[in-house]
Structure 1
Amino acid sequence: MSVPRPGEDLARRIVAGSASLPTAAEAKRPRSRGRYVVAFGSILTLVSGFVLAGAYVLGTMADEPLSSPQHAYLLAGWNQIAENPSEDLSREALQELRDSGWSCPELSELGFTLEGATTTQVAGQPAVALSLERNGEKIKLYEQRPVHGERTPDVLHAVSERPVAEEGFTLQTGNSATAPQVWQNASRPGEAVLSTGNVTYTIASSAPHGTVAGAVSELSLTESAQLLVPARDRDSGPVDRVMRGFSLLAGAGRSL
C-alpha cells in the first residue's frame, strides 16, 4: 500500500502545537512541589505530636509531688547502698541510686568530672555527697532527700546541718511551700542551697559566683519536674499542662 505524503502545513502545525504545551520540567514541577508539601506537612504533624505529647507529660510531672511508693523506693535504694559503706561509691553504686530515683548530678554540662561520692546523712536525713573537679576548681555537691512523713520545716545547709537562715542565707526565689527555693549568702558567693519538698541541694564551691550560677541552672534542669515549675492545682486542664511542658522543654520555666 502506498504511504500518503504529509501535508505541506504539517511542520507548521507541529511547531505551533508544541509551543503551546508546557515543558517537561514545568509539567512535573506542580506535582513534585505538591509531594514536598504533603511530605513536609506529614513530618511536621508527626513531630508536633511528639512535642505536644512530651510537653503534656512534662507539664504533668511538674504538678506531681513524690508519692509514698516513690519515697519508699528512694529510701530503699539509699539504704541498700549505705549498708556497705566505703570510701567512695563506685559507678555501679551511683547507677543503682539513680535507678531508685536519686539524681546524683555530676554537672558534666559545665565540664566537671566526678572525683568521688559517698552516702551520708544531714540531720538524720539520707544524702549523697559528690566531689567534682574542673581545671582545679572544686565543688562539693550534696543531694539531700527528706524521710517521708518527717519533712523538716527548715531548709538545712548540708555542711553545717543548720537552717540556712541561721547561716546568713536569704531566699532569692520561691515564696511558697511548693515553689522552688534558692538560698544564697552574699558573703559566701561560692555556696548556694536549692530546695523543694522533694529534694535539697547544697553547693559548696571554690569557684567564683558565675560557676555557682551555672551549677544552679544545670541542677534546675536535672530536677525540672520539681525545681523549674511550682506545683499548680491538680484539676488544671491539658492546655495548661502543655504550656508548662513547653516551658520545661525550652528551659525557660521558672528559670533559676
Structure 2
Amino acid sequence: MNEQTGTTEPTTSNERTRRGFLRGLAGTLALTGFGQAFGQDRASTGTLDHAAVLDLAATAEALAVTLYHQALTTATFRMDGDTAEHLRAVLDAEAHHLEVLRSLGAAPLASRFYLPRELLPDAGAFADTALHLEAVFIGAYLAATHQFAQQGQPELAATAAQLGASEAQHLTLLSQLAGLGPGDLTLPAASFRRVADAGPALAPFLRGGPGALGPVALPQAEQLRLVLGQRAATPGRPFARTYTPSPRGRG
C-alpha cells in the first residue's frame, strides 16, 4: 500500500534488491533440485513418493503462513482496514491448508524462512513477493495433481486440486489489491511438470541470500489466533480425509 492511496501499488525503488533476492540462488540450486535445497536428496531420482510431495507442499504452506503473518504483524507500510482483512482471510486459508496437509501425515521440512528485506517497509516488495509465491504454489499444486493421478491416488489428486484452486483465488485477490486487475488467463499456467521443479523458485526463501531478512520462524497457533481474532471462516473439507502409506513404506 502506498502512503497516499493505501493500496498495494508496486514501486520500483527497490526493484533491484527484490529481484536479486528472488533470483539470487536460483541458478545454482536449479542444478541440485528441491530436495537438496532442504539439505536432503529426496528429489535426486527425478520423482517423489507421495509423502515427499505432501511434505514439500506443507513446507510451501508454512512459508506462506510466515509471509502473511509477517505482513500483518510487522509491516510498516500503510495498510487500510479492508486490505488487512483480505490478508487475514488469505492467512487463515494458508493456515488451514497446512493443517490439512499435516492431517495427511505431512511435515514441513523447514520452520524458519528468509524474506526480502524490503518486504516490511515497502508495499511493492510485499506485492511482488506474494504474487510470485502464489504463482509458484499454483504451478506446484497442478504438478502434484498430475503426479497423484498418475500414481493412482485420486483422493490426493483431488485434494491437491482443491488447494491449487484456493491459491488461484489468492493470486486474483492480491493482483486486485496491487492495482493490477484480476488477470486475463483463462487457465493457470502449468509451470512445473513435477513438484520438485518448483525448487529453484522457492530456494531463496529457504536458504537466504543477498537482500534477505531472517530466518523468520513459522508462527505458532497462539500467534495466529491473535492475528486472526474471531474470524468466522468455515474450513472446507478435503477429498482425502486420511492418508495411508502403502505397505512398502511412506510412498
Q: Under a length normalisation based on structure 1, what TM-score does the superposition of the two structures give? A: 0.23
Q: Which has the higher relative contact order, 1 or 2, with Cα contacts under 8 A spaced 6 or more apart?
A: 2
Q: Greater helix percent: which structure?
A: 2
| TM-score normalised by structure 2 residue count | 0.24
- The structure with the larger Rg is 1
**Which is strand-richer, 1 or 2?**
1
